[in-house]
Amino acid sequence: MKNYLLNYLLFLNLSGRYAYQSDFSQSELDFFRTIKNIVFKDQILYLDTFTDLKMINTYSEDRLYCTLKRTLKILSFVPGVKQIAICNSFAFRTQHLNSDLDLFLILDHRFFYTTRFLMILLLTVFNLKRTSKKYINKVCLSFIISDKNLNLSRVRFQKDFYFKFWLDNLVFLGDNNQLKNKFLNVNHALEFNSNFFINLNKLPLSYKTLNFTTKFSFLLNLFEKFNKLYQLKRARVKYQILNKPSGIYIRDGFLKFHNKDIRVEFNKKFKKYLSSIFFD
């Protein structure tokens, strides 16, 4: 666990921000004080290799929190959303003034594409969906899987430091704890960010799953088949247009859309700093 804490501090600093002493327990802070490379200053701490770090942008954080609150209220009317998690910059608390709100979602495999269609429709109607031109404080549904595709190893690189901390810092909001724990176990992930809302000094937000009714199963199945054909075809066309970037992965029940995958460059830097800081 001590090595993990050091790696996590490096991850935060490499992501561009200071760590806050309030992010850690007293025993963890005592451990950090035994490391000569770590600087304590006021309420922050950081590795002395980094000299151009930023404080947490609380203004952007407040905006994203409000956007999340609105989004959860809207998505509460969409059936089939089994789990929702905050991810990327807001989960890391590295957001800036131009940040969007990234969400990771697990959907009911039976109506995966229908649920995705309804989410996109409602977020578009309420002017919350991210677009290429409007992205500040908007919602990005860039990573969606079904409850039958919980294993993310297919999109994980070897020695993927970034992906490890991405997984461990997911902030789950849904009430389906059984599914959450299954996901964490399958991916060998820790729920490292469970104090997210405490650290934000905000009221915790949550999401209650709404299930599909079985009354109109025939029409639902028909609509699902149409949406599957349309959405997969459209996604694959865009994938070809963008010259097949590594951050995009399209399979039935598994959609990951990251046009710019920063992991290769980030992992190189992480490995370099890791060896120079802790193994000199």
- 256 and 191 fall within a common domain: yes
Q: Both 13 and 99 in a single domain?
A: no
What tens digit of pLDDT does each residue of 56-90 get? 999 999 999 999 999 999 999 999 999 999 999 99
State whether 206 and 192 are in the same domain. yes
- Within 10 angstroms of residue 11's Cβ, the number of other Cβ atoms is 23
CB 157 within 8 A of CB 270: no
Q: What residue numbers bound the domain in which 143 lies?
A: 58-261
Position 82 scores a pLDDT of: 97
13 and 87 share a domain? no
- Domain stop point among 55, 73, 94: 55
Distance of alpha carbon 160 from its chain centroid, rounded? 15
0.85 cut: is pTM over it? yes
Write down the pLDDT at residue 256: 96
Residues 22 and 78 both lie in one domain:
no
Strand-pairing partners, residue 45, are 19, 40
Whether 162 and 266 have beta carbons less than 8 Å apart is answered as: yes
- Same domain, residue pair 63 and 120: yes
Residue 266 lies in a domain: no
What is the predicted pLDDT for the residue at 216?
Answer: 79
Statement to judge: residues 206 and 117 lie in one domain: yes
| Same-domain check for residues 15 and 70 | no
**Which residues of 36-154 form beta strands (DSSP E)?**
38-41, 44-47, 81-87, 101-107, 139-146
Alpha carbons 9 and 38: distance in angstroms, whole number: 9
Instruction: Kindly state whether residues 18 and 107 are assigned to the same domain.
Output: no
pLDDT at 213: 83
User: How does 182-202 read in b/e, with b if 16+ C-beta sit within 10 Å?
Assistant: ebbeebebeebbeebbeebee
Does a structural domain hold residue 275? no
The answer to whether position 268 is within a domain reads no
Q: Each residue's pLDDT tens digit in the chain (280 positions)?
A: 678 888 999 999 999 999 998 888 899 999 999 988 899 998 899 999 898 899 999 999 999 999 999 999 999 999 999 999 999 999 999 999 999 999 999 999 999 999 999 999 999 999 999 998 899 999 999 999 999 999 999 999 988 999 999 999 999 999 999 999 999 999 999 998 888 998 899 999 999 999 988 777 889 999 999 999 999 999 999 999 999 888 999 999 999 998 888 999 999 999 988 887 765 5
**Domain-embedded: residue 214:** yes
Kindly state whether residues 181 and 164 are assigned to the same domain: yes
